[in-house]
Structure 1
Amino acid sequence: MQNADQTTTRQSDVMDPARAQAMQVAMGLAPTLAPGDALPPFFHQLYFWTPVATDGLGRDGHPRVGGLIPDMGLPRRMWAGGRLAFHAALRLGAEAERVSVCEAAQAKTGRTGPLAFVTLRHEVWQGGALCLTEWQDLVYREDPDANAPRPVPPDAATGAEAEREVRFDATLLFRYSALTFNGHRIHYDQPYARDVEGYGGLVVHGPLLAQHLMLMAQADLGPLRTFAFRAVSPLMHHEAATLCRAGRKLWVRGPDGRLCMQAEA
């Protein structure tokens, strides 16, 4: 286990209702949110942007590692999953502060070669109260080997109590990238996604899939206290997906039956 970088960053932002409404529209919802309303779960991803000059970006469009995220010497970044604890509602129209720290950084060797696992912890405060704690799990790995066999993803579970099909396209991925200020090129630069990182298309954001599952869980189960999710296999922008729920367990099924994400509310 490498010592985690204990650099703490603090960012303040106003929970702008217009940005939350734009997110609703991008997801096919009516733009109903107004000042004073509770922010829907995971919509805090729309705030606390970290603008970095172009010469401070890596080849993938993300800010170069170092500082809060240690440099583990591996080029490909993926958001592998996360956990959230909801303590109190964040309110639109008011300022909030996010306090972030790198909680863990670990190098390992897997079946596909060297891997690095990084866990960030974010706390979001508003009006002197802790509203949200989030753990963000990142994985870094080497560039793909064109001659290596493709991993076979597991099949999704059966027996869902509720299902809903969702579709994605390049425009939605661009809009979500813009709303979250996410410069990762695998979501909007198809030649880069295909030729450099070895994907079969633009990659649907893991957090966007998690966002769909959280809204489904809240609609079916009521206000969320906790939510945990883990990405299993990537979904491409041209693929339809099915959101599934059985009790408090949720998952995303790809069009070929593979498991793309699993979660628990």
Structure 2
Amino acid sequence: MHEAEGRAQTVTDPMDPARLAALHATLGRPGPVPELLPPFAHQIHFWQASPPEGLGADGHPRTGAFIPDLGLPRRMWAGGRLMFHAPLRPGTPAERQTSIVRVARKQGRSGPLGFVTLCHEIFQDGTLCRTEEQDLVYREAADPEAPPPLAIDAPLDETEAHVVSFDTTLLFRYSALTFNGHRIHYDTEYARQAEGYPGLVVHGPLLAHLLMDLAEDRLGGLQTFKFRATAPLFHFETAELCLRDRDSDLMLWVRAPDGRQCMVAEAM
């Protein structure tokens, strides 16, 4: 058991309605701003701002405080699982209680990997509204000369597909709304030269947000949602949000223009 497991912290947020209005505009949603938070919109709240000296070269807060330092500098949000218990309302203060559930190190095909799983519980007026497990993965420093890892081919048996595209303005505004300073999302030179990507990386949480909205529209509400990022999507690529009905739930995925699977998800 890692010494960081069981570590906990609590953050409160006023749930400023202006942020939801800004997200609504950023995503180009039609009509009035919703009265309740969409399934993944709590990501624009509960900021934990680090001063400049508390940031790493990649723009993320340095590890070693709440999140343990595993000696691996690259980080990404690898996936998560959510349970929806009650609505979240803009303008009503909320509390997020976070604990570190698991810390592990493994040897992957590309080198050593570190995994941290966080559990977030979000309360409003004393009621548990969301339970979210967030999986973080840490890797060695990038070798820009290394070939990209092999990607998984996305399924082709969807019952619905929705074309989406992303530009630099959208990625910048989403980074600002989520207070995400990771430079791979807005600094093209850094993304290419330091991390070896061909362009800006579309936020995994943004893709998950779009899939959740699609699932909620299809199901009329969500009980659970789980997702896993499988390959990066880049700002110059047009992707498809795909959905397939199953007996008791929905299968969803993001397909890049070359057919690779970027994210896979299940919703009930």
Structure 2: distance between partners of 1:179 and 1:147: 33
Q: Kindly provide the amino acid, as one letter, of the partner of residue 250 in structure 1.
A: L
Structure 2 contact 97–121 (Cα < 8 Å) conserved: yes
Structure 1 contact 228–264 (Cα < 8 Å) conserved: yes
1:5 CA drift (Å): 3.6
Residue 72 of structure 1 corresponds to 70
CA displacement 1:19-48 (0-9 Å, x = unmatched): 1011011111036226xx221100000000
Structure 1: distance between partners of 2:66 and 2:211: 28
Q: Kindly provide the amino acid, as one letter, of the partner of residue 94 in structure 2.
A: A
Structure 1 contact 5–70 (Cα < 8 Å) conserved: no
- Does the alignment pair 1:126 with 2:128? no
Structure 2 contact 143–195 (Cα < 8 Å) conserved: no
Residue 231 of structure 1 corresponds to 229
1:172 CA drift (Å): 0.3
Residue 25 of structure 1 corresponds to 25
CA displacement 1:177-209 (0-9 Å, x = unmatched): 000000001000111111111111000000000
CA displacement 1:106-162 (0-9 Å, x = unmatched): 011111111001101110000011100111101000122345432110110011111
Q: Kindly provide the amino acid, as one letter, of the partner of residue 257 in structure 1.
A: G
Structure 2 contact 115–138 (Cα < 8 Å) conserved: yes
Q: Secondary structure at the match of 2:95?
A: strand
The share of aligned pairs that are identical, in percent, is 57
CA displacement 1:69-117 (0-9 Å, x = unmatched): 1100001001100110001001111000001111111011111111001
Residue 6 of structure 1 corresponds to 6
Residue 187 of structure 2 corresponds to 189
Greater alpha carbon shift after TM alignment, 61-70 vs 123-132? 61-70
Structure 2 contact 144–192 (Cα < 8 Å) conserved: no
Structure 2: distance between partners of 1:148 and 1:179: 33
Residue 211 of structure 1 corresponds to 209
Structure 1 unaligned blocks of 5 or more: none
Structure 1 contact 2–107 (Cα < 8 Å) conserved: no
Structure 1 contact 7–67 (Cα < 8 Å) conserved: no
- Does the alignment pair 1:41 with 2:39? yes
Structure 2 unaligned blocks of 5 or more: none
Residue 257 of structure 1 corresponds to 259
Structure 1 contact 13–97 (Cα < 8 Å) conserved: yes
Structure 2: distance between partners of 1:165 and 1:146: 30
Greater alpha carbon shift after TM alignment, 227-236 vs 8-17? 8-17
Q: Secondary structure at the match of 2:143?
A: coil
Structure 1: distance between partners of 2:36 and 2:264: 26
Structure 1: distance between partners of 2:56 and 2:31: 35
Q: Kindly provide the amino acid, as one letter, of the partner of residue 125 in structure 2.
A: G
1:246 CA drift (Å): 0.1
1:66 CA drift (Å): 1.5
Question: 1:82-121 maps to which residues of 2 (within 5 A)?
Answer: 82-121=80-119
In the TM superposition, structure 1's runs of 4+ consecutive aligned residues that sit over 6 Å from their partners are none
Structure 1 contact 6–68 (Cα < 8 Å) conserved: no
RMSD: 1.2
